[in-house]
Structure formats: C-alpha cells, structure tokens
C-alpha cells in the first residue's frame, strides 16, 4: 500500500527556502509516499469563540489532517521559535477541546535557514508543541538544513550528492517511522 503525508510549510513567503526544501524532500522520498500540502495561509487567527462553529478554512484543515497517514513540518525558525502562522494552524487543528487532530498522528520536523544552526532552536520549540499535541514524533534522525542556493535549485533538485543522500535517508527513516506507528495505531 501507499501512504499519504500531509506537509506543512511554515513560511508564507513567496520565495520560501523551506518550500524549496519541501520540493526536494518530496522528490527524494520513497515511492510509496504521496504528499498533499496542508495550507496555513488562509486561516484567520484562532480564537476559542470559533469552537462552536469553525470557519470553512479551519474545517478543511482538520478534515485534511484526518485524511492523511502522517504529517511533516518543513518550517523556518522565526526569532528562535515557530512562525506565528504555523503556530496558528497548529492551534486550530488542536481544537476544539477533545478533537485534537494531531492525537497519535505520526509526525516529523525539518527546516532550513541561511544561518548555521539550521532552525535547530525553532525545531525544539515545534517539538515541544507537538509533544503536547500528542503527535508521535520521529525523534531521530534530526535534520537542520543550512540553505545554500548553490545546493538547492528552485524546483527542488539538489546539486550536492551528500545533501541529497542525507535528505533521502531522512525521508526513508520517516517512512519507516510512520509505518511502525501506524502498525500499532492505525488511522481512522
Ligand atoms: C528570520 N530568520 C531567522 N533565521 C534563523 O536562523 N533564526 C531565527 O531565529 C530567525 N528569525 C527570523 C525572524 C523573522 C521574522 C524572519 C522574517 C526571518 C531568517 C530566516 O531563516 C530566513 O528569512 C529564511 O529565508 C526563512 O525561511 P523561508 O521563509 O524562506 O522558508
């Protein structure tokens, strides 16, 4: 069988390096993984006032997460933490209380920065949030990507063999992780 991965790109930038990274990851992933983006840019700011009646964009997000086998977060680090737009999307998906969309869902985090620590601090912040949301995170390998336009082409092709092999291994490990989790905790 194949598996569907819903992926979040944590950036709203039209020139996002994390979107480029997401293209590279999709291209290098095992053939039995299919990918669907979980868009975050059209969501209003979450308020508990919406809990009784979620707007269509937020319903669509929760339904999309319910329809995938696993989630992948490809996100920049903003001020040593998570971009607000991504946190907003996670907050929407985690609510209303008792209907947390991430409960037991296989998950992985990765991100790219032009800076040398490659979103390491932001990923720790994201991991803390996903822990509370009870996602089943892949804890190893970790992937902190220092982005260079010499390595990543806009279409997601990777010009450096070592980087491509690292990302291929990361996606194979994510594949194996999600299959293991789904064996114990089937979705739906
Ligand atoms: C950044 N950037 C950044 N980089 C980093 O390594 N650590 C950080 O804490 C931050 N903080 C930060 C805050 C804000 C508000 C912005 C706009 C940027 C730089 C960031 O890595 C760079 O802009 C990337 O290009 C962002 O990823 P996307 O949007 O291109 O995917």
pLDDT value at position 33?
98
pTM beyond cutoff 0.95:
yes
pLDDT value at position 188?
77
Strand (E) or helix (H) holding 144: strand 144-146
pLDDT value at position 59?
98
Alpha carbon of 168 to ligand 1 centroid (Å): 24
Low-confidence ranges of the chain (pLDDT < 70): none
pLDDT value at position 136?
98
Query: Which residues lie across from 107 on neighbouring strands?
Result: 71, 137
Q: From 21, 23, 24, 77, give the residue whose CB has the most ligand 1 atoms within 8 Å, as the site to mutate.
A: 77
Report the C-alpha gap between 20 and 150 in whole angstroms. Answer: 13
Query: Which residues lie across from 105 on neighbouring strands?
Result: none
Binding-site residues, ligand 1, Cβ < 6 A: 11, 13, 16-18, 76-80, 113-115
Q: What is the SS3 string spanning 106-134?
A: EEEEEEEECCCCCCHHHHHHHHHHHHHCC
Sign of the Cα pseudo-torsion (59, 109, 178, 129, in order): negative
Predicted-assembly ipTM surpassing the 0.95 threshold:
yes
Alpha carbon of 77 to ligand 1 centroid (Å): 5
């Amino acid at each position: 069988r194949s598996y569907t991965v819903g992926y979040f790109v944590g950036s709203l930038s039209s020139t996002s390096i994390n979107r480029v990274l997401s293209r590279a990851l999709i291209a290098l992933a095992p053939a039995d993984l299919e990918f669907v983006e979980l868009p975050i840019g059209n969501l209003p700011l979450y308020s508990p006032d919406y809990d009784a009646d979620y707007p269509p964009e937020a319903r669509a997000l929760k339904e999309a997460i319910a329809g995938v086998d696993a989630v992948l977060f490809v996100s920049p680090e903003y001020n040593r933490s998570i971009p607000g737009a991504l946190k907003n999307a996670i907050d929407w998906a985690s609510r209303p209380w008792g209907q947390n969309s991430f409960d037991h869902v296989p998950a992985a985090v990765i991100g790219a920065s032009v800076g040398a620590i490659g979103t390491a601090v932001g990923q720790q912040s994201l991991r803390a949030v996903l822990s509370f949301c009870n996602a089943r995170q892949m804890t190893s390998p970790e992937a902190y990507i220092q982005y260079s336009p010499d390595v990543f082409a806009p279409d997601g092709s990777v010009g450096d063999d070592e980087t491509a092999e690292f990302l291929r291994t990361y996606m194979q490990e994510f594949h194996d992780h999600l299959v293991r989790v789904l064996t114990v905790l089937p979705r739906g």
